[in-house]
Amino acid sequence: MILPLIRSMAVTAFLVTTLPVIAVAQEASAQAEASLSVQGRPTVYNHVVALRGKSFNDPRIIVIATVKPLTAKQIEQVVKANAEETQTLEGNASYIKASFKPDGTLRYLVGDGGGAVFSKKNEADQTILKGKATITGDRVQGEVILSEPGDYAKEAKLIFDLAFLTEAPEAQ
């Protein structure tokens, strides 16, 4: 009678110590960091997702960072909207969003946060916005850096290695 109890306790102890390690390993496979500083006031975006969308029927890869997790309705809004336009997310969510061509070429960085709404197109003759993505199967990794000097200076950084979101998260 004591032996089965000891085995049960040993198995429970093993699971309790092993499952968090498995969960951490799964989280480690998706890495991202995002921040925006407007006139020296920083905002950190803890939630970053990668989606597939379109812009005027051309496929786009969208990486969007928010302070709070996107709702299913907000994700639907991002996917349905022109992937490159500045938009206000339902619920007035602060965000930064990068739009890439399927070959990984950065097209736009748009955002709404820190008291600024901005839309920056990546053009060959500009030097304030740089970025590239690598798309491999169901993953995207890359980096976008915005460094805009001036009276309303903005600095944004988006670094990511993510699986594409294939379904909206459940309501929280």
pLDDT one-digit tens code per residue, 44-56? 999 999 998 887 7
Long-range (24+ apart) CB contacts under 8 A made by 93-97 are: 93/66, 93/67, 93/68, 94/43, 94/45, 94/66, 94/67, 95/45, 95/64, 95/65, 95/66, 96/34, 96/36, 96/45, 96/64, 96/65, 96/156, 96/158, 97/62, 97/63, 97/64, 97/65
Q: What is the pLDDT of residue 83?
A: 55
Taking residues 117-141, report their average pLDDT.
92
Statement: residue 124 has pLDDT above 90: no
Q: What is the pLDDT of residue 14?
A: 37
Taking residues 11-19, report their average pLDDT.
36
Taking residues 110-132, report their average pLDDT.
89
Report the predicted TM-score, pTM, of the whole model to 2 decimal places. 0.77
| Predicted confidence band of residue 167 (pLDDT cuts 50, 70, 90) | low
